[in-house]
Structure 1
Amino acid sequence: MGVLTNKIKREDLKPGDHIYSYRLAYTYSHHGIYVDKGNVIHFTRGEGQEIGTGTGLDHIIGSSLPQHPLDNPCPICSDQSRSDGVISSCIDCFLSGGDVYRYEYGVTPAFFLAKARGGTCTRASSESEEQVIHRAFYFLRKGFGVYDVMKNNCEDFALCCKTGWKVIPTVDGGQSGQAATFQAAAGVILSVPVAFLARSSPVGYAATSVARLVASCGTYCVNRYINDIGVRRDVVKVVLEE
């Protein structure tokens, strides 16, 4: 575990761990809470609609779970791979052939900024193993609302289980590191004046490009940081009602 990777071995997993696995050549990751004995509770749309954009991308990016044939479901999970919402599945179905990574909590500002990719760590502290697992099972029974790729996704679910915090529903963005990364990256790309650069001389183009790159990296890091659930203030503590 460190700046370069959060990859771990299965035998090192502990109950209450927030884990994730990459999909589609590391384009995005799927998150969940490891319970025990190879069981994971996670939030998904299922049926090849995990990202839930309402566009053609939903048909390109596969489900968070392997699609077992109807006549040959997973011997452990049965037909859970075709379910929506908060579900419990075996770790093999959760990983869907990928490696397992562990999300890090309570990291320093320097460490957070050094992790250039979001969705891997947070400044927020995790609560106890018992509280984390209790929330996961509560949401398994009660649900976690409607899946939204930017505002209410699998990482939001795992963060809420671990910290008890959830972004106030009235705000525009969600709390997940992946969502913040995508938003920050999009803002950087849109801020580059392509037409101006095209008209510049080679020397001017190079100098301007370097300056823009440095400024864009700074903007990207700041945007990621201020959107982390560990530092933002537009959050509420989730109260579980039995």
Structure 2
Amino acid sequence: MEETTDTIIAINKKDLKPGDHIYAWRFLWIYNHHGIYVGDGQVIHFTTPHAALDEIAKENPNIPMEEDDEDFKSEPCPKCGYIVGGSLGIGVMKTCIDHFGKTLHLYVYDVSWIRFWLSRRGTCCPYKAKPLDQTVKTAYEKLKTGFGSYHLLTNNCEHFATFCKTGRKFSGQVMAKRVAPGVNLEELPIEELEKIAAGE
């Protein structure tokens, strides 16, 4: 199969399968939010604390909040009970897909490290994915037991979703932020890259 760098794959909500790892871009493509589609229009995801989102908003004052967040600032969603700033603002949660994101993308697994380096971070992973039903089972287990404390660099939503899919944490979005200035990530051994991506 020919290697390509196209890992930004838009997917229609009607085409989702339970166990799919999906993501939605936030804050005008500054970062993306990840979760596991579990069927019936529901997504299990590890949410960013509102304080962290507020910090991003302060650093980028000209970037508007997500449109779907604006709809439920004071009234809970009639489908899933989601409310911005409410008790559901942190941790592993299950919400309707409307609160996950309006434009969805499918995360790509089992890419070569070359393809990973040529792709936009947060869109793909070099690890093999588990079967879809096992992914859903892991997501529901983590909904019950949690996924630890949220940390942007070491335990974020991409770490959560890749863990559900592979049994290993991986976040390509934060790799460059976790190494010393001047270090060329592409020159590090794969074992070291895996530790960095896992938040170790």
Give the TM-score normalised by the residue count of structure 2.
0.79
Give 1:86's aligned residue: 92
Which has the larger displacement, 86-95 or 117-126?
117-126
Give 1:57's aligned residue: 56
Distance 1:104 1:33, change over 3 A: same
Give 2:155's aligned residue: 152
Decide which structure has the larger Cα Rg and report it. Answer: 1
Whole-angstrom distance in 2 between the partners of 1:234 and 1:24: 22
Distance 1:36 1:163, change over 3 A: same
Distance 1:152 1:234, change over 3 A: closer
Give 2:129's aligned residue: 126
Match of 2:32 among 29, 33, 36: 29
Give 2:139's aligned residue: 136
Unpaired segments ≥5 residues, structure 2:
none
Match of 1:180 among 175, 180, 185: 175
2:46–2:156 Cα contact (<8 Å) kept: yes
- SS at 2:154 equivalent: coil
Which amino acid in 1 is paired with 2:186?
C
Matches within 5 A, 1:1-242: 3-4=5-6, 5-46=8-49, 48-50=50-52, 56-57=55-56, 59=58, 66-67=69-70, 68-70=72-74, 72-79=75-82, 81=84, 82=86, 83=88, 84-95=90-101, 97=102, 99-115=103-119, 117-166=120-169, 175-183=170-178, 187=180, 190-191=181-182, 219-222=184-187, 229=194
Unpaired segments ≥5 residues, structure 1:
167-174, 192-215, 236-242
Which amino acid in 1 is paired with 2:35?
G
Give the TM-score normalised by the residue count of structure 1.
0.66
Which amino acid in 2 is paired with 1:177?
G
- SS at 1:152 equivalent: coil
Whole-angstrom distance in 1 between the partners of 2:133 and 2:161: 14
1:80–1:88 Cα contact (<8 Å) kept: no
Which has the larger displacement, 105-114 or 36-45?
105-114
Distance 1:165 1:59, change over 3 A: same
Distance 1:150 1:90, change over 3 A: same
* 1:23-55 residue CA offsets vs partner (Å, 9 max, x unmatched): 111101100001112110000134x33459xxx
Cα deviation for residue 182 of structure 1 reads 3.4
- SS at 1:124 equivalent: coil
Identity of aligned residues (%): 34
Whole-angstrom distance in 2 between the partners of 1:136 and 1:37: 15
Aligned alpha-carbon RMSD (Å) = 3.0
1:177–1:224 Cα contact (<8 Å) kept: no
Whole-angstrom distance in 1 between the partners of 2:164 and 2:92: 12
Distance 1:134 1:228, change over 3 A: farther
Distance 1:25 1:79, change over 3 A: closer
